[in-house]
Structure 1
Amino acid sequence: MSGLDAPDIVAAYDDVRNDKLETNWMLLSYAGAVGNKLALTQTGTGGLSELVASLSDDGVQYGYVRIEYANDKESTRVKFVLVIWIGKNTKVMRKARVSVESSEVKKVLAHHHLAVTAEEESELKEDDLVKLLRKSGGADYNGGRG
């Protein structure tokens, strides 16, 4: 697997992480890629719901999304989630390569607070991910209310 060092992937990753830009997600896949290389498929400003709507049932994709949530009445937190998507119609041999591939993707999209492997859209609900982010984030100033 290669292609992860492509300038457009690096630029999209930096854009998602940049507080001054509206881009808040990116999607990598093999769709339209030349050879066995991951390519930047899409970016957007509509958050997790827009990313989820862009996922395909017949392939493996890697999403990176910025999630902002209220920490308490006075503050918010920004966290990053890596989504490892394995569509329900993905071929068995293609699924088998995900563990090796995903470790390479994690090296490039290294700054993430949570990595989630999902096969169904229902596994990618923002409220559920925020709960996981709060649990992994240490201090919970929201009194355990999720």
Structure 2
Amino acid sequence: MRSWLDEMQMSTSVDTASVRAAYEDVRSDSTDTQWAVFKFDGARITCVDTGSDFDKFKEHFSENERAFGYMRIQTGDEMSKRQKFIFITWIGPSVNILQRAKMSTDKAVMKNIVSNFAAELQLDQISEIDLKYFIEELNKAGGANYGTGVREN
């Protein structure tokens, strides 16, 4: 039986097919998929779910695990709407120090596939998994909004 230390010492791999398919699904304009969640199955990262309901996305992150999220969010003002993407690294507050330390290299492995995003966040509190916060971060990354606040009909 392997211990958690044995698993930590194994190099991380990625289920490339499931991760790439989910990534492309979120990026596609022809599907309703707004997000994907990637988690560890031992030392292998795989896509565990995709969807469009933000509450279901949020349910995937718990205090004692590490995960990644990728999300499509519509931003802009009344003058122009655009799709932006955000990459999330989740390290729950109860994750041990060795697993925390390993996330920087695990994130680099993920970014070989999940490579196109306007903002990147590393979160460690459930309260930070908030759609308004994500939109604010994407707006900061996207520069100025030039709208007047009023849409002409």
Q: Which residue of 1 aligns with 2:8?
A: none
Structure ID, larger Rg: 2
Match of 1:41 among 42, 45, 48: 48
Q: Which residue of 2 aligns with 1:13?
A: 23
In structure 2, stretches of 5+ residues that fail to align are 1-11
Match of 1:84 among 75, 82, 89: 89
Shifted more, 132-141 versus 36-45: the winner is 132-141
Could you tell me which amino acid in structure 2 is paired with residue 41 of structure 1? V
Q: State the 4+ residue runs in structure 1 displaced beyond 3 angstroms.
A: none
Matches within 5 A, 1:1-146: 1-5=12-16, 7-30=17-40, 33=41, 35-47=42-54, 49-69=55-75, 71-142=76-147
Distance 1:85 1:74 in 2: 34
In structure 1, stretches of 5+ residues that fail to align are none
Count of residues in Structure 1 that have an aligned counterpart in Structure 2: 138
SS class of match (1:108):
coil
SS class of match (2:22):
helix
- What TM-score, normalized by structure 1, do the two folds share? 0.85
Q: CA RMSD in A?
A: 1.8
- What TM-score, normalized by structure 2, do the two folds share? 0.82
Distance 2:57 2:106 in 1: 20
Identity of aligned residues (%): 28
